[in-house]
Chain A
Amino acid sequence: MALSRNWMYENNGGTCVAIAGSDYCVIAADTRLSVGYSIYTRDYSKICKLADKCVMASSGFQGDLKALQKNLAAKHLIYQHQHSKQMSCPAMAQLLSNTLYYKRFFPYYTFNILGGLDSDGKGCVYTYDAVGSYERVGYSAQGSGAGLIIPVLDNQLKSPSPLLLPAKDAVTPLSEVEAVDLVKDVFASATERDIYTGDKVEIVVINASGIRQELMELRKD
C-alpha cells in the first residue's frame, strides 16, 4: 500500500454522453454516485456549467472531479477579468487539456466530456482521457457505461474518419429532439447492465436560445 498511490483514488463510477448537432449540443450524465457495491447518493450532478456556452460532464473520482471544476472555474474567472468576455468552448477545451496534463504524474482521476457551441454557433463535443489527450468529435461517451453506449452511438450516428481529406464535419444529422431521445435510450440501456449507472439522467441542451436542463428517471437497482 505504501508503495502504490492507489489509496489516494476511488472510483465513484458514472457515465457521460454528449452529442453535437449543427446548431445544438446535448450533454448528459447519470446522477448516481457509488463506490464498490454501495451507492453514496442517487442525486449527484456530474455536469458543471463552465461558461455561457460550455458545460463539462465528468465521471471517475468525485474528489478530483470537484477539484477540477473549482480549478477551471477559478481560471475562467481570471480569463473573464483579463479579456472581459466569456471563454469560448474550443478555448475551454484547450484549457481543460492543459489543466489535466499539468498533473500528468499525479493525475486527476476523471474522465471528461466537454460540450457546447463554438464561435460559429455549431455544436461541439470534446472527449478526454485522464491526462489531457483530447479530440473534437461528433459524439462521445465516457465513464463506466461507455463500453455499452459507444457501439450504439456508432450505429446510430457514424462519425466520419478523421483521416479523410478534405476533412468532414463531425456533427450529427439528427434534430435536437431526436438527439435527446437517443441519449435517453442509451442511458436506459446502459442502466440495465452497468451497476454504476442509474437513478436519474441529467440532460443539458445548449442552443442559440441558451441552456436548458431536463431530468429523466432511470432504474434504481
Chain B
Amino acid sequence: MLPWQIFEYNGSALVAMVGKNCFAIASDRRLGVNLQTVATDFQRIFKIHDKLYVGLSGLATDAQTLYQRLIFRHKLYQLREERDIKPETFASLVSALLYEKRFGPYFCQPVIAGLGDDDVPFICTMDCIGAKELAKDFVVSGTASESLYGVCESMYKPNMDPEEQFETISQALLSSVDRDCLSGWGGHVLLVTPSEVQERTLKGRMD
C-alpha cells in the first residue's frame, strides 16, 4: 500500500458550510476496510464544546487518536483559562498538533467549524501536516472531496438560514457520496446556531 492510499483505507466524506450566524457540518456514516463495509454508524464529527465541532476525515484510527488528544488539550486549556477555546485558537492548536508529527503524520484531514465571539461562524480545513485553509463559504474533505467541491460550488449561497442550510448541505452530501465508492450509507448533519444545536441523521443509498 502506498502512503497516500492510507487516506482512502476507511473512506470518508466531510463538509462544513457557513450560514447566517450559524454553520452546518456533515459527514457520511460508513466505515470500511478498502472496499468492504465494516460499520454503517460511524462518527467522524466530534464535539469540542457547545459551539465548536471538529470532523476528522481519513484513517479512522488516527481520527479517534487525534480526537482523544484534542479533548485532552482542550481540557488543559479550560483548566488554565477557565473558559472554552475560540475556534480560531483551536484551529491553531490542531495545526500545531499535526505539525508536531511532520515526518510521520496522522493520516487525517480535519475540518473545524465553530461559532466565535459574537456568534460569528468560523470554518477551516487543513492537510495532514497542519497547513490551515480558512474559507468563508464552505470546506470539504475526504474521499468524496472532488464531488463535494463540485456540488457545493453549485449549491452554496451566502447567508442561508438554518433550515435552508440543512437542505443544501444534505443534498450536497447525499449527491456526492453516491458517486464515491468509499463513502456513503447515510449521513450525520449538525446544525449549530447561537441558541441551539440540532443533530440529524440522514438515510441514504446502501451501496
Chain A residues engaging chain B, CB cutoff 8 angstroms: 145, 147-152, 154-155, 185-186, 189-190, 192-193
Contacts and interface: CB of A to CB of B under 8 A. Distances in A.
23 contacts: A147-B146, A147-B147, A147-B150, A147-B179, A148-B146, A148-B149, A148-B153, A150-B150, A151-B150, A151-B179, A152-B154, A152-B155, A152-B175, A154-B175, A154-B178, A154-B179, A155-B151, A155-B155, A155-B171, A186-B150, A189-B150, A193-B149, A193-B150
Interface string B161-186: 00000000001000110110000000
Contacts of B146: 147-148
Interface of B: 146-147, 149-151, 153-155, 171, 175-176, 178-179
A121 B149 CA distance: 36
B153 A192 contact: yes
* Interface of chain B, main secondary structure: helix
A152 B149 contact: no
A152 B150 contact: yes
A186 B149 CA distance: 12
B31 to A, nearest CB: 22
Which of A148, A149, A185, A190 is most buried by chain B, counting CB atoms within 10 A of its CB? A148
Contacts of B171: 155
A133 to B, nearest CB: 18
Which of A145, A185, A192 is most buried by chain B, counting CB atoms within 10 A of its CB? A192
B135 to A, nearest CB: 12
B178 A190 contact: no
A154 B147 CA distance: 11
Contacts of A151: 147, 150-151, 175-176, 178-179
Nearest to B156: A189
B179 A149 contact: no
Contacts of A154: 175, 178-179
A147 B178 CA distance: 12
Contacts of A190: 150, 153
A189 to B, nearest CB: 4
A20 to B, nearest CB: 20
Contacts of A189: 150, 153-154
